[in-house]
Amino acid sequence: MRPAAAHPLRSRSFVILVHAGLWLLLYLALVGLRGNSPGLRETHSSSASPHSLLPVARLERLFAAEAWRRIPAATNSLSPFFTEHFNPVKPPSTPPTTRDIELTYLGFYQTGDGPKQAMVKLGETILVAQEGSNLTANLFAAQASVLSLTLTNPAGQTNLLGLSAKTQMKVPIR
């Protein structure tokens, strides 16, 4: 469905009328470009120019060595030229209480009827721990299986280490 306003815009006579109107505007613009230039004449100043534009005698005192020795050394003092807005006072940082370690469960072995011995890689060292014994800091080896090792801490939280998967953990610093 076409709107009613689209029909006159698509008629051939309308297009010819607009085309002729644009040519007429171009002709009138080119004919009207000729005009009179403004009358320019040279003017003379009635006031006399000053003898010296700069007070040179005062500039010598500005660059004297004595003037530079009086510059304040403390820039953190109250001054309109220095601000602490961009250097806020930082609260003292507290030392960290935990550290990140990387554990990799390598599997377990068992001799006869003895307890399972879990092998865990801590960084570059390999630790061997029995089920229920302390592995590192506050982590204890709870249960070793073929595919995973369950770790617990004194608070009762458990973590699961997959076989040959590197796992990042946080432990307290002693």
Rounded distance between C-alpha atoms, residue 133 and residue 115, angstroms: 11
Rounded distance between C-alpha atoms, residue 130 and residue 124, angstroms: 20
Per DSSP, helices labelled H in the chain are: 6-9, 12-31, 56-62, 65-69
* The predicted structure's pLDDT at residue 72: 58
Q: How many helices (H) and strands (E) does the chain have?
A: 4, 8
Q: List, run by run, the mean pLDDT of 10-residue segments along the chain (174 residues).
A: 70 91 89 71 67 67 70 61 68 86 94 92 92 88 93 90 93 82
Please give the CATH architecture assigned to the domain spanning 98-172.
Roll (2.30)
* The predicted structure's pLDDT at residue 22: 95
* The predicted structure's pLDDT at residue 161: 93
* The predicted structure's pLDDT at residue 71: 58
* The predicted structure's pLDDT at residue 119: 95
Element (H, E) at 126: strand 125-130
* The predicted structure's pLDDT at residue 103: 93
Q: What count of other Cβ atoms lies within 10 Å of the Cβ of residue 123? A: 10
Residue 145 structure tokens:
């299986």
